Amino acid sequence: MINLETPKKAGALINQAYQAAAEVFRPISRKYDRAEHTYPSELDMFAALLDGLNSSGEGGAGAAGVRRSGKDDGPKGNRNGANLNVVLGTIEMCWGDVGLLLSMPRQGLGNAAIGSVATDEQLERFKGLWAAMAITEPGCGSDSAAITTTATQDGDDYILNGEKIFVTSGQRADAVVVWATLDRTKGRAAIKSFVVEKGTPGFEVVRVEHKLGIRASDTAVLRFENCRVPRENLLGTPEIDTAKGFAGVMQTFDNTRPLVAAMAIGVARAALDETRRILTEAGVGIDYDRPALTQHAAAATFLQLEADYEAAYLLTLESAWMADNRQPNSLQASMAKAKAGRTVVEVTLKCVELAGSYGYTEESLLEKWSRDAKILDIFEGTQQIQQLIVARRVLGKTSAQLK
């Protein structure tokens, strides 16, 4: 059974991540929010430190994914492993700044895809690569199964053609994990993921988007025109298994959705911490031993926000713990992502409101966090998509039966 207390062995990692967030991320947070599209050079040295943490086997504090083992080679009983460590580290880092975390070299969401479905040979070959993730297209919206980018086999290569939008770190990353279909007539079962390295002929960064939030992170539009990719860069198996569908590439989301939920939790906690400080200085006490309705209205609101935060936090820990213990976590990953995404938007906006005019100005980071929060309810599957996935799982319906 899951223990909801933070594992003692994760204490050192959490402390390291918090110190980095407080001493590295938070001081430059506003600087790179204003200097959109400017690469935060302060991250280079810190990225090397995270590489060391990841290679140690303890799990780093960044957004890189972790690989699941299909064999039972560990001790029996509960295990608190790399999935939980990465989630806990991500929470701390995003307490500092989520946009800066998304800008970290070699900590991209594409790395989580590689960690999920790559072969051992591919893991070694792509080691040290900074990989972005390219899924969304102009015409497919939130439906990942509606991919139109094609991958046509030509000898020992695949030829990619298509366009991807809203690619986080699409300009800065060393490579992009691209979702493409091998045969559009066979539906979602034919969708595979390919590692396309920068500099590959036919691969073009069209533009970098201006955004509401996470401005420290670049978000690019990519185009692939007769882009030749080696067959060895296809992640997983090239066979089209209509019975299995595209469960292989979708396994990526089982890793990344808890991470995005963790990002949302980190931002929400940052807003709650700052709001608690503001309320305390204003003489508004928060008493956990008294009913909320007997307290100041601001305190009662704060307690409600904190309860939602705790629910999202525990759902996220559960989804990561299940991955560490080799339990299918697709339902829990979507529940955590849905709850955390909605909670961070509500918490940050309400914290701006509780802080009054101060929360709306650039004197405080509250207004920035309220802008950063919205993307965490959108990418890696929108709020509506997560609720749809949860409904299908709970009701036992297929995607064709419940749309």
Q: Tell me which of 137, 306, 318, 380 is the catalytic residue.
A: 380
Do 223 and 170 form a contact (C-beta atoms < 8 A)? Answer: no
What is the per-residue burial (b if ≥16 Cβ within 10 Å, else e) of 166-200? bbbbbbbbbbbbbbbbbeeeeebbbbbbbbbbbeb
Beta strand 150-154 pairing with 131-134: unpaired
DSSP lists the bridge partners of residue 158 as: 153, 229
Q: Is residue 143 packed enough to be buried (19+ CB in 10 Å), middle (13-18) or exposed (0-12)?
A: middle
d(CA 242, CA 45): 45
Please report the sign of the dihedral spanned by the C-alpha atoms of residue 378, residue 151, residue 235, residue 401.
positive
Q: How many residues does the chain have?
A: 403
End-to-end CA distance of the chain: 34
Do 257 and 264 form a contact (C-beta atoms < 8 A)? Answer: no
Q: Is residue 293 packed enough to be buried (19+ CB in 10 Å), middle (13-18) or exposed (0-12)?
A: exposed
Tokens in use for 240? 């089209």
Q: What is the three-class DSSP state of 145?
A: helix
Angle between helix axes 330-354 and 247-281 (nearest 10 degrees) is 30
d(CA 299, CA 279): 8
Q: Name the DSSP class of 373.
A: H
- In order of 143, 267, 309, the CA distances from 272 in angstroms are 33, 9, 9
380 catalytic per annotation: yes
Do 319 and 336 form a contact (C-beta atoms < 8 A)? Answer: yes
Active-site residue numbers?
A: 380
